[in-house]
Amino acid sequence: MPPLYFQTITEVAELIREKKISPVEVTQELLARIEELDGRFKSYTTVMVDEAMEAAKAAEAEIALGKYRGALHGIPVAVKDLCFTKGVRTMGGSQALVDHVPSFDGTVVAKLKAAGAVLLGKLNMTEGAMGGYNPKFDVPVNPWHSERWAGASSSGSGVATAAGLCFGSLGSDTGGSIRFPAAACGTVGFKPTWGRVSRYGVLPLAESLDHVGPLTRSVADAGIMLEAIAGMDVNDPTSLSDGVPNMLEDIERGVKGIRIGFDAHYATHDIDEELAKAVVGSVEKLEALGAEIIDVQVPDMDPYSVVWPTLCSAEAVFAHESTYPSRREDYGPWFLGWLDKGAGVSGAEYAKANAMRAECVGHLKRVFQDIDVLVCPSMSAPAHPVTPEILYGPLPEFRAPKFQRFTVPFDFNGAPTLSVPCGLNSEDLPLSIQFVGKHLSEPLLCQVGHAYEQTTEPIHPQV
């Protein structure tokens, strides 16, 4: 067994349920590890020591009385600092919100607490959940390599989960920011169907694209966390009324007979060679497990990805209307440039970009006509080199379309995606494969992802 801090939610939950370890002991160990290591990794912006210990003691007392709530009861987790927490600052990575102390918990936080989870704190992120950081805030450090990208917006979530500073975390994904940190930091990342998880009490970036979901160290853990936070919310009219299924009910059924679509050109052309080889090898493993691999043709996604900045930046201006432009001096150069870009988008430009989005969604519907799941990389290369200057801005020229080739299309159509580690490259950096499902197919993604995961060895950074 790995050290406690690298064990999965599933493993630790069993120890807690059997009273072989207490939530207080687990929480104390995690808080001590944060105290020891997070000055180096900078994943937390706020550590909620008193609140965490109070929740751990309450969980311990309930479990002692036989009132066990389930797999998250007594498990220390953390959330991206755009999830509202009652009485605790929620800043969204921005100096403009440094005094923002919510009077209520966001729905996802409330649901984690209802499941008995212990909230360790709030995790660092890029400003406004975009690509760069405010100079007043720390940049999370990738635990695999200190000079490599940690995955942008939900970077604190990826770093904390990978480094054993929580057992699972919540991130958000508007253009890839659950999948990017999962891939860069070697964790599982689960982006649910748009609307499956309430966004009430979550600071927005672009509301028509924003998704909230978990980052964990196993597929089963991701399913456990997603099941806890999913469901209709009367406070979020965009949340779906569909019931929340048991995400793990069929997780051990394997992939025999499941139709998995694969477009070798889409998945391997013009991307990192080692990653391409790993993806092909992963598909071969799935076929050996009994999956039916079906050749599909994914249209060129790059012309659609390039309109994402128009949609996202314009919606970001709306999201920040209470502080932009009135407090523009409080924004860092990266995100201020993004907001200024959005303020210059015309109605006609937004309409054209939205039409392109609809066209992309239509193409993807056809791709999925005869398959259950699509497989492709989570991003086009392992974590790339970065410098503080690059991360703090000013706003750079936007990245090549291939950077978001495997993420943006599935934000456009709101499909669920599951990113799973698929080994290490020659530099010992994580590689990641992505499973994409039809709307509301999260349990099937857990089934496929878990079956694939059993063919791999767990990976942990040397920290």
User: Hey, which residues are catalytic here?
Assistant: 80, 153, 177
Q: How far apart are CA 12 and CA 31, in angstroms?
A: 16
Q: How far apart are CA 264 and CA 282, in angstroms?
A: 12
For residue 333, cis peptide bond before it (omega within 30 degrees of 0): no
Q: How far is CA 263 from the centre of its chain?
A: 24
Q: How far apart are CA 328 and CA 92, in angstroms?
A: 15
Token representation of residue 463? 């920290």
Return the C-alpha torsion angle 46, 50, 55, 61, nearest 10: 160
Q: How far apart are CA 412 and CA 394, in angstroms?
A: 27
Secondary structure of the chain as H, E, C letters: CCCHHHCCHHHHHHHHHCCCCCHHHHHHHHHHHHHHHHHHHCCEEEECHHHHHHHHHHHHHHHHCCCCCCCCCCCEEEEECCECECCECCCCCCHHHCCCCCCCCCHHHHHHHHCCCEEEEEECCCHHHCCCCCCCCCCCCCCCCCCECCCHHHHHHHHHHHCCCCCEEEEEECCCCCHHHHHHHCCEEEECCCCCECCCCECCCCCCCCEEEEEECCHHHHHHHHHHHECCECCECCCCCCCCCCCCCCCCCCCCCCEEEECHHHHHCCCCHHHHHHHHHHHHHHHHCCCEEEECCCCCCHHHHCCHHHHHHHHHHHHCCCCCCCCHHHCCHHHHHHHHHHHCCCHHHHHHHHHHHHHHHHHHHHHCCCCCEEEEECCCCCCCECCHHHHHCCCCCCCCHHHHCCCHHHHHCCCCEEEEEEEECCCCCEEEEEEEECCCCHHHHHHHHHHHHCCCCCCCCCC
Asked whether 91 and 98 are in contact (CB, 8 A), the reply is yes
Token representation of residue 417? 């995606």
